[in-house]
Structure 1
Amino acid sequence: MDEEPSTSCGIKRRIPSELQDNINAIATKYSREAAISAALNDNQKRWLVIGICLHTILSPALRKWVESILTIFQNDLINNYNIDTQMYSNQLRSDPQNGVFLNYETVNNNKTKYGKNYPKYDYTIKNAVELSKLYLQTNMAHYTGFDDTCDISHLLCLILEIARFDPVIKADADNVRKNVRNPWAHCDFTEWDASKYSSSFQLLKKLVHDLKLNLNEETLIIEEMEKWEINGECFLSGTTYGFELFHEVRQQTHVLAVYATLVATEADGNFIKIRDKIEKFENIFNKIAQLDKELKKGFSEIDKRLLAQDNTLKTHSTHIGK
């Protein structure tokens, strides 16, 4: 039989029934683990963790890597084809290596300024960002730099379209696009079982490995992915440790929500859908965070009342001793 709690003076202390009722009520009302489990099923949590890895770990790494490759490529094109000074009628019309058509509507705001009046276009390519846009459809090339406006779909498409990128990395990028990014963008949660979750991480890590970054950089990226892969499983478990991860998941969900809002347009049905789903998740997490705040406040009040009771018992004990 459990002993009743005691004060530091050794006097047995019984928790008043009113306080015990309060404790039970708070524990029932503000069960954090139950709140998460009721709000999101395991497939939805897996989908969310994969989204965080795609957009907060893989995308920044790819932006940096793609920009470095395209900067070298641009310098080669300047030396061989003068693309930084070219004008209408003598512009480079296709990729010298694979013959892919170069779309000048996408660069220098040409389509917005001049519509289909091609002789008026500005054909000069002065940086790697503008060079990259030549390989995309006009409706895809709205990013302003290799930053948050350039998302994972842009980056994978560039790797696939531009001959300068290694065939092994192209194959990796195609696998990530077909088997991770596109299914994620379709928001079909039924796909995201444990097997899909595991295979997705394998594909993401293979792509990072094949980029052949310096060892320190690769290690940091892989470790961050594995942290989310493992922590994601803990988050799925509904354990106390899983809830300790909640605030980091909540923070990254907010980052993902801001990103989705940034890139979502009326012409991009997938990202509108993604934005709406993530906003719902963010609202759920905010409500759970509020529950946690109220839970802590409730138990803080109980602690104060128990402390006051202890002080009363100590005073009473002192008087008896005298």
Structure 2
Amino acid sequence: MIVSNTHTHVSNVPAKERAHSRTYSFVHGNHQANRARLLISCPDQPGIVAHVSQFLYEQGANIVHSNQYSTDPESGLFFMRVEFDIPDLDTHKNTLHNQFQPIAEKFAMDWKLSLANQRKRMAIFVSKEEHCLRELLWQWQNGDLYAEIPVIISNHPIAKKTVESLGVPFFHIPVTRDTKAEAERQQLKILEQYQVDFVVLARYMQILSSNFNQIYKNQIINIHHSFLPAFIGSNPYARAYERGVKLIGATAHYVTENLDEGPIIEQDVQRVTHQYDIEELKRIGAQIERTVLARAVSWHLEDRILIHQNKTIVFE
């Protein structure tokens, strides 16, 4: 049984970072203060929705969104996301956990309760190309990504000015074949220091180690500049050009130990013709990449994604 709560850790973070991280939270108003989300996966069987709904009713909750999906009503798995408002949520969250436990055990649920007003702490990794980073920062500034960005890490110094102009700490950690292990050690130490909940690879052109993936299992989102599973690995636009494709795209996915084969969160494509050269493909692709990644990050922040084997269930 997996029981977890999405916490926003701020107590040990320097006051400067805490104050700055609140700067762009104005879009989410007071209506979020008493809103929670319940995510459930379990073997499908009769009575799940009824028991969950009855439980929330007895707690005085008002359900505002409810989505469910079954892989097979007879012998499959059942997935559910419920968003609800409940008075004085902060004082009752532990009670909700304890009182929901018998229902979770009855239906053999893996479940998570998260609070909508507790922002996840997102670290961004980037290399030389800034388009995905800039899109995330713009949406964050605009209040469309309800998150804290306590730190940004890069193996190149190019994004330093962009990042520090917003008051976000920036760490330049060069990576070579010989220094990769030490670089990751430094990165993980920084992520721990800033109490990061999840990592976004915004065109970070390095392969993370198995150890890194295990520490942040299902908490690393990558953007791949190809419509996976086509053109896995490096230089996908050059290979797409050589193949004469008529569609190019981008894929946001969770990172696993298998390169570019993790659970896919979001994809998009655009039509191209034989007239486009590699540079034009890259330019068009960059536009797709940044929007696809931003959507995937938004859904992760809003607890809209459940992972089943190597697939995702993404609730609207």
TM-score, structure 1 normalization: 0.25
Q: Which has the higher helix share?
A: 1
Q: Which has the higher strand share?
A: 2
TM-score, structure 2 normalization: 0.25
Indicate the structure whose relative CO is greater, using CA pairs within 8 Å and at least 6 residues apart.
1
